[in-house]
Amino acid sequence: MKDPNIKVEIKHSESKSAWNIIGTVLGGMYKIARVPYSSETGCQITDATLKFESLENAQFIAFCFNHSKEITDHFTMTK
Protein backbone atom coordinates (compact mmCIF):
# COMPACT_ATOMS: atom_id res chain seq x y z
CA MET A 1 0.00 0.00 0.00
CA LYS A 2 1.56 3.28 -1.08
CA ASP A 3 -0.12 5.54 1.48
CA PRO A 4 -1.03 3.76 4.71
CA ASN A 5 -2.47 6.98 6.16
CA ILE A 6 -5.68 7.00 4.09
CA LYS A 7 -8.63 7.90 6.31
CA VAL A 8 -12.16 7.18 5.16
CA GLU A 9 -15.76 7.49 6.30
CA ILE A 10 -18.99 5.78 5.31
CA LYS A 11 -21.89 7.65 3.75
CA HIS A 12 -25.08 6.38 2.20
CA SER A 13 -25.37 7.03 -1.51
CA GLU A 14 -27.86 9.74 -2.43
CA SER A 15 -28.88 8.09 -5.70
CA LYS A 16 -28.37 4.33 -5.22
CA SER A 17 -29.00 1.59 -2.69
CA ALA A 18 -25.41 1.48 -1.53
CA TRP A 19 -22.94 2.58 1.12
CA ASN A 20 -20.00 4.64 -0.15
CA ILE A 21 -16.56 4.65 1.42
CA ILE A 22 -15.13 8.12 0.90
CA GLY A 23 -11.70 9.59 1.64
CA THR A 24 -11.71 12.38 4.23
CA VAL A 25 -8.41 14.15 3.56
CA LEU A 26 -8.57 17.37 1.58
CA GLY A 27 -7.52 16.59 -1.98
CA GLY A 28 -8.40 12.96 -1.44
CA MET A 29 -12.15 13.29 -0.94
CA TYR A 30 -13.17 10.71 -3.50
CA LYS A 31 -15.14 7.49 -3.47
CA ILE A 32 -12.88 4.57 -2.71
CA ALA A 33 -15.48 1.81 -2.67
CA ARG A 34 -19.20 1.16 -2.97
CA VAL A 35 -21.05 -1.60 -1.15
CA PRO A 36 -24.43 -2.06 -2.85
CA TYR A 37 -27.48 -3.87 -1.54
CA SER A 38 -30.83 -4.82 -3.01
CA SER A 39 -33.89 -3.08 -1.58
CA GLU A 40 -36.40 -4.42 -4.06
CA THR A 41 -37.52 -7.60 -2.34
CA GLY A 42 -40.78 -6.06 -1.11
CA CYS A 43 -40.21 -7.35 2.42
CA GLN A 44 -39.18 -4.69 4.92
CA ILE A 45 -37.39 -7.20 7.16
CA THR A 46 -35.34 -8.64 4.29
CA ASP A 47 -34.54 -5.16 2.94
CA ALA A 48 -33.40 -3.98 6.39
CA THR A 49 -31.28 -7.12 6.84
CA LEU A 50 -29.57 -6.65 3.47
CA LYS A 51 -28.95 -2.97 4.22
CA PHE A 52 -27.47 -3.82 7.64
CA GLU A 53 -25.24 -6.58 6.22
CA SER A 54 -23.88 -4.24 3.55
CA LEU A 55 -23.24 -1.60 6.23
CA GLU A 56 -21.23 -4.16 8.22
CA ASN A 57 -19.18 -4.94 5.09
CA ALA A 58 -18.59 -1.22 4.50
CA GLN A 59 -17.51 -0.80 8.13
CA PHE A 60 -14.99 -3.62 7.73
CA ILE A 61 -13.53 -2.06 4.58
CA ALA A 62 -13.37 1.36 6.27
CA PHE A 63 -11.69 -0.19 9.32
CA CYS A 64 -9.03 -1.75 7.10
CA PHE A 65 -8.31 1.57 5.39
CA ASN A 66 -8.29 3.53 8.66
CA HIS A 67 -5.90 1.02 10.28
CA SER A 68 -3.83 0.10 7.22
CA LYS A 69 -0.50 1.08 8.79
CA GLU A 70 -1.03 -1.27 11.74
CA ILE A 71 -2.20 -4.05 9.41
CA THR A 72 0.75 -3.73 7.02
CA ASP A 73 3.22 -3.43 9.93
CA HIS A 74 1.79 -6.61 11.46
CA PHE A 75 2.20 -8.58 8.24
CA THR A 76 5.72 -7.32 7.56
CA MET A 77 6.78 -8.35 11.09
CA THR A 78 5.31 -11.86 10.77
CA LYS A 79 7.17 -12.73 7.55
Q: How is 9-53 classified by DSSP, letter by letter? A: EEEE-SSSSEEEEEE-STT--SEEEEEE----SS-HHHHHHHHHH
Mean pLDDT to the nearest integer, 32-36: 95
Q: Is residue 3 part of a domain?
A: no
Residue 17 forms part of a structural domain: yes
Full-model pTM: 0.83
Q: How many domains does the chain have?
A: 1
Confidence band of 39 (pLDDT split at 50, 70, 90): confident
Q: What is the Cα gyration radius of the chain? A: 15
Read off the pLDDT band of 79 (50, 70, 90): low
Residue 14 pLDDT exceeds 90: yes
**What's the rounded mean pLDDT across residues 31-57?**
92
Q: Output the pLDDT for position 5.
A: 74
The whole domain housing 54 covers 8-78
